[in-house]
Chain A
Amino acid sequence: MKEVMSGNHAVSYGAMLSRAQVIAAYPITPQTQIVEMLSEFCRTGRLKAKFIKVESEHSALAACIGASIAGARAFTATSAQGLALMHELIHWAANGRMPIVMADVNRSMAPGWSIWTDQNDSLSQRDTGWLQFYCESNQEVIDTIIQGYKIAETVLLPVMVVLDAFVLSHTSEGVDIPEQKLVDKFLPPYKPQYKMDLNQTLAFGALVTPDYNFELKYQIQEAMEYSLTLARKVDKEFKRFSGRNYGLIEPYRCARAEIILVTSGTITSTAREVIDNLRKQGEKIGLLKIRMFRPFPAQEVIEALEDCKKVAVIDRNIGYGVGGILCQEIKSAFCNNARRPEIFGYITGIGGRDVTPDTIMEIVIDVRKNNKADNRIKYVGLRKLR
């Protein structure tokens, strides 16, 4: 069944179809519609869940952690400051191996106040042990929420599904809502092996001496590595009933491409248009969409890019003092690879500044004229400052 809905509502539908059992969230623009719709679902009984209306994002994630350890499927959604406030518990959820799914609507970090998109909020959480998916469309949002639970509950790690503020969150598109019955078959009820249970009387999260901690942290990395394989499998499985899949990355028109743009989030859609136009004109150019950022599918990225001459990585974020974060990841992926293209890093769209086909074109033109990449950061759409 197709319906026109915003990205935020796609999140709500995703959580409902996944039969989230405990939802705890705190309102923050641009995430508010997600929780508004979920509370409506809970009120009408469309979703049989407890909605805990907490007083902060910190408590939101804490409540989700409590719910998860007690054996329930937990969901929350936030943005920017809210995500930052959660930071302690972001670690807690991952180190506690809790399969919580959270939607983060990318929003620029304050101050000054901003409600518009960039990726610095979610990318600040990249080393916490959460899986991260960056979505391009509202359809992908709903589908990734559902896939997210399946992956999370298998590898026992939390999943963050990321969407751009406004560009996706408040933009309506036609979305095919998967049939509940099929979703239920794909995603059976959550049955954790370890949980707060009167028959088990376990204690969770005690003081860990140096004798054990190394191994426990290592197990998280192991699970991260496994989740690459698993996410591919789950994505394929998802296709079997929905007809849709996304891959961890998506190479678009990369066949024999000499230049490949690398994007994430909604910039991808914009870039697709530019690529289509240039291909029509016969240019050997392609696009690589990075959907899964954590764990970073480095091998797949290498395979997608190693045959081209030049790679332009477009980052809607800044790793202050280094540059675009995605660019760093890709560079480091190629570091020990024998064959590697020239890798150019572009930063654009910070603080919600529009990224239009012209912006993308500007990048293409720049890449065309340079044959040798250096480590200088290139900014696109940045006004000149005196």
Chain B
Amino acid sequence: MKQVFQLPPWAISTESTLYNKTGSWRNYRPVYRNRIPPCNNACPSGEKIQQYIDILNQEEGLYKAWKLLTQDNPFPAVCGRVCFHPCENSCNRSDYDEPINIHTIERFIGDIGLNEGFKWRLPRVNKKYKIAIIGAGPAGLSCAYHLRRRGYQSTIFEADNKLGGLLSQGIPSYRLPQDIVQAEIARIIKSDVKIHSNTAIGNEYDFDKLLKEYKTVFIAIGAHKEKKLGIPGAEHPSVIPALEFLYQLCAGKRVKIGQRVGIIGGGNSALDAARSVLRLGKKPIVIYRRTENEMPAILDEIQEAKEEQIEFVFLAAPERIIIRNNKIVSLECIKMKLGQADKTGRRQPIPIKGSDFKVGVDTIIPAIGEEVDTSFIPGSFLKVLDDTVSTNYEGVFAGGDAVTGPKTVVDAIGAGKKAAHLIHCYLRQVCLPVGASEKPVVFEDLNTAYFEHETRIPSGKLPLSSRLKTFAEVYQGYEKPQLKQECSRCFSCGVCNKCDNCFVFCPDMSVNKRAGKYEFDYDYCKGCGVCVLECPRNAIGLVQEER
């Protein structure tokens, strides 16, 4: 017989169901696991974009966002202006409505950092190691910064008197004001980086000597050597290479150009030159071999140029510069058509015989690309190894445009960061992974039911009328409310942003919130997987239980 026990008069329940540990029913266990957002994945300098946007969304402060952003990129104010933002191209939101305006957010954070004088807290310098960096462009400065973060002091050798490389020599101020560039550079230098400007390796300083003295060298000399136009008349003084033209402008010098300026090329330099010409009060005509679709310039730039009603002559290649009385009178071009796509996927232009025509110009700015000049390295050639940074010289590393040919600012910054990492590994004789290689979150991974359609908030912009006569910056960035609004559009792909969905939809009250974090209560979680599917951002996975 059973023991004597007390019962209520009838079936009156007094206990809770907590006795029943339903976790034992489970076949699959949900786990919080952050995945790689596509924006972070796409950023050559590895910015944790989703994370700093999340910091802004959680209102944890701009400093925190700036600190996180500059962990990967010391040039947020610069990149917020000139980066070609592959992050936005990969943004999953573009499959829903429009991508997040990441670069304008980045710019806001960067500007705040400058205005507020945000500072890094860096470790002490370890004097044991000496590292030389050739070139104070974005790659070199980025490398110096990332080394400094690891406690290494480096010495930068710069041929020019101005630091910044292309940043201070090739981008007009209506796109990138010089005070911004210099302020972000100064912040790096102030963090205890040595500088020898006006010191070209090969001329003022011998490369072998440098190598002997420093043992570790990072070559980040960029790509400055202009490709030659190579058509009759190209030697005329009114043929001014784009970089030369932009360099003079950036240096604040007056450049003598005529009334009608033919710019040859479809890249950023071409557009920079054209838009600068316009601002100088002259008529630019951009001549490009292919069509608008094939232009390598940033899309925004093309849009801007079109807005500014710059004349384009597409499908035309220069044949000959016609000079009369020692003056350029026109550019003879041949019409092109697009043929098959080449290896890079771009359709190749093919000349149409007998289609010659003339474009009336008196000045010509070729912007057909640059090459690397490594003539200062004696003896043999420099060979970059598979990791794209190490070279066949012991202790010599190389990166940026110097290795890849002309690429973008952020690529150079990323290369500098990677070089710092590999230099660290080299000096300490350790092998650390460069970065995660997981698959980033794709649009199909998301549950978009929880996202409203919201249009992208554009950056503030000078009106067309007031921008054509000056070199004042076109884009004005965000005010705080716009920043907030745009940040709130972020899907936070693959990363929990405490949206509460897992908590809200759990039928078993098995999601606990503790200290701002979620935890599964595996005592009761039945493993239904609702949270996995209802997580809008794919930040929860299911793993099979081992029983």
Give A contacts to B, CB under 8 Å.
95-97, 156, 194, 202-206, 208, 212, 215-216, 219, 223
Contact = CB atoms under 8 A, between A and B. Distances in A.
Given A212-B7, A212-B11, A216-B10, 9 more contacts: A156-B9, A202-B13, A203-B13, A204-B10, A204-B12, A215-B7, A219-B7, A219-B9, A219-B10
A329 B386 CA distance: 103
3 smallest CB-CB distances across A and B, nearest first, come from: A203-B13, A97-B9, A97-B10
Contacts of B13: 202-204, 206
B12 to A, nearest CB: 5
B8 A194 contact: yes
Contacts of A215: 7
A182 B76 CA distance: 91
A212 B5 CA distance: 10
Contacts of A206: 11, 13
A216 B14 contact: no
Contacts of A212: 7, 11
A212 B12 CA distance: 12
A203 B12 contact: yes
Contacts of A208: 11
Contacts of B10: 95-97, 204-205, 216, 219
Contacts of A219: 7, 9-10
Contacts, number: 32
B3 to A, nearest CB: 12
Contacts of B12: 194, 202-204
Nearest to B5: A215
Interface of B: 7-14
A206 B16 CA distance: 12
B495 to A, nearest CB: 40
A181 B11 CA distance: 36
Contacts of A203: 12-13
Contacts of B9: 97, 156, 194, 219, 223
22 contacts: A96-B10, A97-B10, A156-B9, A194-B8, A194-B9, A194-B12, A202-B14, A203-B12, A203-B13, A204-B10, A205-B11, A206-B13, A208-B11, A212-B7, A215-B7, A216-B7, A216-B10, A216-B11, A219-B7, A219-B9, A219-B10, A223-B9
A278 B114 CA distance: 122
Contacts of A194: 8-9, 12
Nearest to B13: A203
B366 to A, nearest CB: 84
Nearest to A223: B9
A125 B13 CA distance: 28
A57 B7 CA distance: 32
A202 B16 CA distance: 10
Most chain A CB within a 10 A radius of its CB, from B8, B12, B13, B14? B12
A212 B14 CA distance: 14
Contacts of A95: 10
B6 to A, nearest CB: 10
Contacts of B8: 194
Nearest to A211: B2
A186 B12 CA distance: 29
B416 to A, nearest CB: 65
A215 B12 CA distance: 13
A208 B14 CA distance: 13
B546 to A, nearest CB: 32
B11 A204 contact: yes
A219 B13 CA distance: 16
A206 B20 CA distance: 16
A206 B13 CA distance: 7
Contacts of B11: 204-206, 208, 212, 216
B370 to A, nearest CB: 78
B11 to A, nearest CB: 5
Contacts of A202: 12-14
Most chain B CB within a 10 A radius of its CB, from A96, A203, A215? A203
Contacts of B14: 202
Contacts of A96: 10
A224 to B, nearest CB: 13
A192 to B, nearest CB: 10
Nearest to B14: A202
Nearest to B10: A97
A54 B68 CA distance: 69
A219 to B, nearest CB: 6
Nearest to A220: B10
Contacts of A204: 10-13
Contacts of A223: 9
A96 B11 CA distance: 8
A198 to B, nearest CB: 15
B179 to A, nearest CB: 68
A216 B13 CA distance: 13
A19 B8 CA distance: 27
Contacts of A205: 10-11
A202 B9 CA distance: 13
A202 B12 CA distance: 7
Nearest to A205: B11
Contacts of B7: 212, 215-216, 219
Contacts of A216: 7, 10-11
A97 B8 CA distance: 11
A208 B12 CA distance: 10
A208 B9 CA distance: 13
A203 B8 CA distance: 12
Nearest to A94: B10
A220 to B, nearest CB: 8
Nearest to A200: B14
A216 B7 CA distance: 8
A293 to B, nearest CB: 23
Nearest to A217: B10
Most chain A CB within a 10 A radius of its CB, from B11, B13, B14? B11
A153 to B, nearest CB: 12
B14 to A, nearest CB: 6
Nearest to A203: B13
A202 B13 CA distance: 6
B28 to A, nearest CB: 28
A204 B10 CA distance: 8
A205 B7 CA distance: 13
A204 B12 CA distance: 5
Nearest to A195: B12
Nearest to A156: B9
A124 B152 CA distance: 98
Nearest to A192: B9
A96 B7 CA distance: 14
B134 to A, nearest CB: 76
A21 B7 CA distance: 29
B8 to A, nearest CB: 7
B323 to A, nearest CB: 99
B132 to A, nearest CB: 75
A207 to B, nearest CB: 8
Nearest to A98: B10
B343 to A, nearest CB: 72
